[in-house]
Structure formats: C-alpha cells, structure tokens
Amino acid sequence: LTREGFSTVPDVTWGDVGGIDHLRTQLKDYVVNPIKYPETFEKFGGKLNLETGFLLYGPPGCGKTLVAKAVANEAGANFIHIKGPELLNKYVGESERAIRTLFQRARQSSPCVIFFDEVDALTTNRGSGRGREGDLAVGGLLNQFLIELHGGDRRDVYVIGATNRIDVIDPAFLRPGRFTNRVYVPLPNADDRVSILKSIAKKRPIDPSVDLDAIANKYCEGFSGADLANLMDKAIHVAVKEKFQSIESSEDGDMNSSDCTIKFTHFKQAL
Ligand code: ATP
C-alpha cells in the first residue's frame, strides 16, 4: 500500500536481521500482537501500557532501522521513516505543525509504525550552536511530540525512536508513559557477527568453500552490522572485477567459461 509515496509496508523481514533476537519478542508484544489481535487486548480492557514509545539506542549501524522495518513488516503495518533534524524549523510553529502532520498521516495509514531516527535532535539543543531561535523551535517541537505521543489520538500508530546519543535525551522523554520501553542495541558479539554475515550472505552467490563463521570470528572483531554489509559489498566488487579481468584476458572472451561465486580470497582482499 503506497500513500502519496509516503508510507509503505517495508520488505525487510526478520530473516534479514542477524542477532538481536531479544528485540523481536519485545517488539512483538508492543507492535505486532496489538495490531494482529486487537480483540484480545480489548478483552483485557484496552491497550494497557502500549500508549508509549519504544526507544532503541546504541552505536550506529547495528540494526535499529532494520529491526523497526522488520517489525512493521511482520505486523503488516505501514512504515514512516523520519529523522529528528528534518522536523526542525526555526519559524515559530512550523516544527509543531510538522509533528502534527506526521501523526495525522500516520493515523490515515494506520496501522502504522513511525520510525523516529535521531530522536535526540528533538531534545534540548545542547551545544548545537543553533542559538535561541533553534532552542525555541526544539522546545515547541518536543512539547508537540509529547502531546501526540502521550495524550494524542493514537489509533494503531506505534512510535519507535532511535538514537546513538541516549546521554543527551531530555529526561522529559524518558518519564513514565513516554519512551518507557528502552532497549540497548549493542555492537554485535562474535556469534551475532556470524549470524549477521550469514543473513547478509543469504541472497549472494557465496562459494561453498567459504567459511563465513571463520571470517566473522577471526577477521571482524569490533565490526558493526553496517561494517559487515560493507565488507560483503567490497568482496562482491573484488569478485566482479576479477571476473571481468579474466574475461578480457581469455582468448575467446567467453563470458560463461568460469563461475561467478564470491570466494575467500575476495573477502581477504576486501578486508
Ligand atoms: P544508525 O544509528 O546509523 O541509524 P542503525 O542501527 O539504524 O544505524 P541500520 O540502518 O539498521 O543501523 O543498519 C545499516 C545496515 O547495516 C543495514 O541496512 C544492514 O545492511 C546492516 N546491518 C546492521 N545491523 C544488522 C543486523 N543486525 N543484521 C543484518 N544486517 C545488519
């Protein structure tokens, strides 16, 4: 479902996400079940504690966006991706209007997940150098956001916030009934790296001799999910380049003469 090209059900599934299994259960309770089984929630007297936001925090490139998309996909919900700074406007009232419009659109395409990246930008303006006007814009926007989040008519609109800077988030955000559910999305450990690399490799022609466990374990210490995705892209690039070189140097230029798989040597060169 596309609505003015604005919100759609994402095509990312849980199969595309490696590691961070704990999040799946929590987000299922928060987003998926209320959308899929509204009668059960009604029987218990409504949506109880669900009228709050869900905040994912942690280092960049570790799957926050991916997880938010996968949960919307699982729920069959539309997805709106918005970045905090996009809503900031120094003209009085404009930022509030932007927030209102955002939630209005979400309600029109409900069930809907609003993924609020860089949500810290909405909180007080410490050290950003935007000056007094910027501060005012941020203050009004924060208030409007809290009104929509807490008191507004939510109707199957779910807010998932994300930040790399939980330390600068205004405490007003974190009070009960606001971003009460907070989950840390860490840098992946060795097992997570294996699972991430395998999920990224799923749709790629990896040579059967390649030991992805060993690559993720031995060579990728400290890598984020985004770093692993980048490694895969580079390995593909090396493999493609090698393939074309071999075609050019072969006498008959036969495109089909050798295979098209990504081998360990390609990963090694990409590292
Ligand atoms: P940021 O804080 O910078 O917005 P993020 O935590 O939202 O980062 P994503 O945008 O979800 O990170 O990840 C960037 C890319 O890295 C993804 O599109 C994906 O290719 C890869 N990636 C990151 N984490 C994972 C993961 N857990 N499983 C599979 N791929 C991942």
Among 55-64, 107-116, 229-238, whose mean pLDDT is lowest?
Answer: 107-116
Q: Which atom of ligand 1 is nearest to the CA of 56?
A: 6
pLDDT tens-place string over residues 152-210: 566 788 899 999 998 888 777 777 777 878 899 999 999 999 999 999 999 899 999 99
| Axis crossing angle, helix 225-249 with helix 190-201, rounded to the nearest 10 | 50
Atom 11 of ligand 1: nearest residue by CA position: 63
Q: Name, of 79-88, 115-124, 169-178, 223-232, the range with top average pLDDT.
A: 223-232
Residue 208 is given by DSSP the state T
Atom 4 of ligand 1: nearest residue by CA position: 60
Give the tokens for residue 73: 């996909």
Across the beta sheet with 78-83, the strand order is 78-83, 112-117, 157-163, 54-57, 181-184
Residue 117 C-alpha to ligand 1 middle, in angstroms?
A: 12
pTM: 0.86
Calpha distance 23→158 (Å, rounded) = 15
Which run of H or of E encompasses 3? none
Q: Which atom of ligand 1 is nearest to the CA of 163?
A: 2
Residue 20 C-alpha to ligand 1 middle, in angstroms?
A: 11
Calpha distance 20→159 (Å, rounded) = 19
What's the pLDDT at 181? 84
Residue 262 C-alpha to ligand 1 middle, in angstroms?
A: 22
Atom 16 of ligand 1: nearest residue by CA position: 226
pLDDT tens-place string over residues 219-256: 999 999 999 999 999 999 999 998 888 777 776 655 55
Q: Which atom of ligand 1 is nearest to the CA of 16?
A: 29
Pocket of ligand 1 (CB under 6 A): 17-20, 60-66, 117, 162, 164, 196, 199-200, 225-226, 229
Residue 210 C-alpha to ligand 1 middle, in angstroms?
A: 23
ipTM attached to this prediction: 0.96
Calpha distance 113→260 (Å, rounded) = 39
Q: Name 177's Cβ contacts closer than 8 Å, sequence gap at least 6.
A: 51, 52, 150
Counting ligand 1 atoms within 8 A of each CB, the residue from 65, 119, 160, 195 with the most, and so the one to mutate, is 65
